[in-house]
Every structure is written in C-alpha cells, then in structure tokens.
Amino acid sequence: GQNIDQPTEMTATEGAIVQINCTYQTSGFNGLFWYQQHAGEAPTFLSYNVLDGLEEKGRFSSFLSRSKGYSYLLLKELQMKDSASYLCAVTNDYKLSFGAGTTVTVRA
Amino acid sequence: ETGVTQTPRHLVMGMTNKKSLKCEQHLGHNAMYWYKQSAKKPLELMFVYSLEERVENNSVPSRFSPECPNSSHLFLHLHTLQPEDSALYLCASSQDVAGKQYFGPGTRLTVT
C-alpha cells in the first residue's frame, strides 16, 4: 500500500521561510515529486528528487532521505503568490501516489 | 500554458445523463492519466494509458469508462453517476509512464 503524510495547513509571514515535511511508506520508490496547486488551477511541477540530498531551485529547495522515507520542501523569501497547496507525490514505476496536500497561507 | 487542455471546464449533470470529458495534450507525450480530486483528499489515480494501451485501472467503478483513441487524446465517458462522484477531474500527460507529469486545468463536475 501507499501512505504519504504531510501537514494539512501552514501559515507564515511574507519574507519568511516555511518547511513542508512529507513522510512516505510505499511498496516501491522511483522518486519523489513536489507540485504546487493554486485554488481552482492545475498542479504545476516544482521539483523531483531521486537521490538523497538537497536540490535547490531559486527560492524553492527540496530534500530527500530515502532511508528515512522523508522529504521536505523549503520555501524561502515567501511571497503572497506562494499561497497555495503543495502536493508531495511518490512515483513507483508508472504510478504516482499523492499526499493530501499542505495548504500554505502567506500573510502580509 | 501547460500544453494539456481539458473540456469542458465545468459540467453539471443529472444521475441519468451520459456525458464525456475530453483531454488533449500538445506535448508529444506517450502516457496520459485521469485523476479525481475531491475536497481535502489526495489526488486519486483512476486510469493510466501508455501508447494508447491501458496499463492501470485503479478499481474505478464501471460508470467511468476511459477511451484513448491516440496518444494525444483521452476521454472519460460518464454514465449513471452518483452525487459522490462530484469532484475535480484532472488529466495529465508525461513523456513516459515514470516521468514528470503535466496537468490540465481540470473539469469541475457536479452530479445532481
């Protein structure tokens, strides 16, 4: 079975840093994706981790530890437009299994 | 512009109606997917097609019937739906079945 856990909601102030954790227990593992989804819109790709370590891409970074079944998405210098749902997803061959998403609210 | 389009964007249908959702990808991908997204629940994978062959049918009720006539188009035929089927239906595509998926804007379906 697939079990992917992430917090339901997080709130942070504009300019701050927020870390969204994701833990997973899956029957297989090829890689881990993070997607961003604004309300009423399609999910859009943020990052993909296959190997352990930190992947940095501008204000967003993603970390993976395969031995711990753990990942996090780090959002730096938060902006109002970063208010969205962030989805953690694990891929196993052809199947992408999603967590329920973390709704991040950025306050002025 | 994600390169994946879906029509209609909104659909209201009665429980006895028959309707179809359409998805088209302009990215030259080989795999296409249907997902269901209900409020406060994870995205649920419904169907996976690779090179027009179905490779996954995730225990979806038969009132949902997919069709993939070619690698660019994917349909979801709906008939005798239930109110609990009301959700956002998302289509996605990827270069191959293990790759990064690109999502369409979704169809907001309401069953009355």
So what's the pLDDT on residue A1?
Answer: 63
Locus of tokens 């981790």? A49
Contacts of A3 in chain B (CB under 8 A): none
Q: Is the pLDDT of residue B98 over 60?
A: yes
Dump pLDDT digits (tens) for B26-81: 999 999 999 999 987 889 999 999 888 887 777 899 999 999 999 999 999 999 99
Cβ neighbours of residue A15 closer than 8 Å, sequence gap 6 or more:
A77, A78
So what's the pLDDT on residue B2?
Answer: 59
Contacts of A33 in chain B (CB under 8 A): 100-101
So what's the pLDDT on residue B1?
Answer: 52
Work out the average pLDDT over A72-88.
97
So what's the pLDDT on residue B90?
Answer: 97
Portion 38-67 of B in contact with A at CB < 8 A: 40-43, 45, 48, 50, 55-56
Strand partners, A91: A31, A96
Which chain A residue lies closest to B96 (C-alpha atoms)? A94
Work out the average pLDDT over A30-44.
92
What pLDDT band is residue A84 in, cutting at 50, 70 and 90?
Answer: very high
> Of the spans A65-74, A89-98, B34-43, which averages the highest pLDDT?
A65-74
Minimum-distance CB partner of A91 among B42, B43, B98:
B98
For A20, A96, B34, B70, B102, the CA distances from B46, given in Å and listed in that order, are 27, 11, 5, 18, 16
3-state SS class at B6: strand
CB proximity B31 to A under 8 Å: yes
Q: Distance (Å, rounded) from C-alpha A29 to C-alpha B88? A: 27
More confident residue, A102 or B52: A102
Q: Based on the number of CB atoms within 10 Å of its own CB, is A84 exposed (0-12), middle (13-18) or buried (19 or more)?
A: buried
- Whether residue B19 contacts residue B13, with contact meaning beta carbons closer than 8 Å, is answered with yes
Cβ neighbours of residue B70 closer than 8 Å, sequence gap 6 or more:
B52
Minimum-distance CB partner of B105 among A41, A91, A96:
A41
Q: Distance (Å, rounded) from C-alpha A32 to C-alpha A91? A: 6
So what's the pLDDT on residue B53?
Answer: 83
